[in-house]
Structure 1
Amino acid sequence: MSAHLLLVDDDPGIRLALQAYLEDAGFSVTVARNAIEGEELLKKHQPDLVITDIMMPQVDGYRFLQKLRALPRFRQTPVIFLTAKGQTADRIQGYRHGCDAYMAKPGDPEELVAIIHNLLERSRQIQSEIVGLLAELQQRPAPLPRQSSVELDLTPREQQILQLVCEGLMNKEIAARLERSTRNVEKYVSRLLVKTGTSSRTELVRYAIEQGLVSTSRPTN
């Protein structure tokens, strides 16, 4: 399955040219004419990576990125600023707002594709770390039975989603498995992070397995 990208730019020429190039490069691309439209599309899709302009009417790229990062399911989503503002100070401001890469217009689309592949690979590595952690913890002696789920007051749905997270599934995959919306799954994962006092999926997986909150047997297809 190809990676899904969200491209946000108020310049129709840039949108069309980049969409065509990125689709030719094998990506699935959704386009938005401005940040407000981009926010609406975020509610309907879960892009693997976002490319956004900075200088846009009403809501600029900085504010759009802040709103995106405020959503738990997009805290780790790679974001590229694609803009005509290419001065060092502009780049610094972009990184301070949390972008992962910065490319000035007009840029080389081949370079953009290379940046996208690099950032997507990094995201896959994070997922791989979770799977590797699960495999590592499965080699340890099984923890003694305990009532941790009762102590944490986990609901049956929270327990179910925690198990799937520990099997290495991402929110989108969990949503498909349970026939629920990705937004709904994201809320459950956020509650689990709060209840367990962890700050990332990797920490949540380690905590859940070490505390005996989930089964460590390998899932079967």
Structure 2
Amino acid sequence: MPGQLLLVDDEPGLREAVQAYLEDSGFTVAVASNANEGLALARQTLPDLVITDIMMPQVDGYQFLKQLREDPQFKTLPVVFLTARGMTSDRIQGYNAGADAYLSKPFDPDELVAIVTNLLQKRDVVRAAGEDEPRNIDDVIREIEEIKRLLTKGGSIPQLPNTIQIDFTPREQSVLNLVVDGLMNKEIARRLETSVRNVEKYVSRLFSKTGTSSRTELVRYALEHGLMK
């Protein structure tokens, strides 16, 4: 159950105390002192859950959450709001912004651990049920096959030589090859003997390194530039 968390709070004392408590509870915790730093760290570490303060300078928690949700890889990322504002209207605003839980300061750290654990368990259940996979898998596979047909048969999309150098790790390259073959995350995880969550992280890194935002875009890009090995 323990996972990778991201904690964003501009109060050093509280940030250090919460980090220490969460780590004592078995979680791995990355920390950021503001929203901009948090967004960069989220893209770097791909956390399983984010805990963020609302009242922060320059970019507040609501804006930070909006920025996260605009990134396709964080659309369903669980987010917990921490705030000194505990009025009902504030909670409603938080939930309307897309937060999954809302905890008012001061809070019992055991309650925070319980909330985090519950949210991660729910996410694991969804993944185990396969609900994290695209609902239109057949459509995705058909699109991939159409792209491959166009490229291999000299269609309207030019097939370019491999002139782009992208520094893929061996595991990223393996995942890319299997995505191009039309395999979905569960199938890739079985083939590589790893978890679906790890495959999701590798696919997200491939999106980032190639500047794409979907599997079909990634396949098109890889085929056009000869990135498979």
**Runs of 4+ that moved beyond 6 A:** none
Name the structure 2 match of 1:59.
59
Between the two proteins, the alignment pairs up a number of residues equal to 181
- Paired amino acid for 1:91: R
Change (3 A) 1:166 1:189: farther
1:120 matched to 2:120: yes
Contact persistence 1:52–1:61 (CA under 8 A) = yes
Deviations 1:8-52 (A, max 9, x none): 000111101100000000000001001111011112110000000
1:165 matched to 2:185: yes
Q: Distance in 2 between matches of 1:57 and 1:110?
A: 27
Change (3 A) 1:70 1:158: farther
Change (3 A) 1:175 1:107: closer
Name the structure 2 match of 1:130.
130
Q: CA deviation at 1:108?
A: 0.6
Deviations 1:47-101 (A, max 9, x none): 0000000000000000000000111111111000011011000000000000000
3-state DSSP class of the match of 1:163?
Answer: coil
Contact persistence 2:207–2:214 (CA under 8 A) = no
Name the structure 2 match of 1:153.
147
Change (3 A) 1:150 1:35: closer
Query: Which blocks of at least 5 consecutive residues in structure 1 are unaligned?
Result: 134-142, 196-221
3-state DSSP class of the match of 2:107?
Answer: coil
* CA-atom RMSD in angstroms: 3.4
Q: TM-score, normalised by structure 2?
A: 0.68
Q: Distance in 2 between matches of 1:96 and 1:60?
A: 15
3-state DSSP class of the match of 1:86?
Answer: coil
Deviations 1:192-219 (A, max 9, x none): 49x9xxxxxxxxxxxxxxxxxxxxxxxx
Contact persistence 2:144–2:182 (CA under 8 A) = no
Q: TM-score, normalised by structure 1?
A: 0.70
Contact persistence 2:126–2:132 (CA under 8 A) = no
Q: Distance in 1 between matches of 2:181 and 2:105?
A: 42
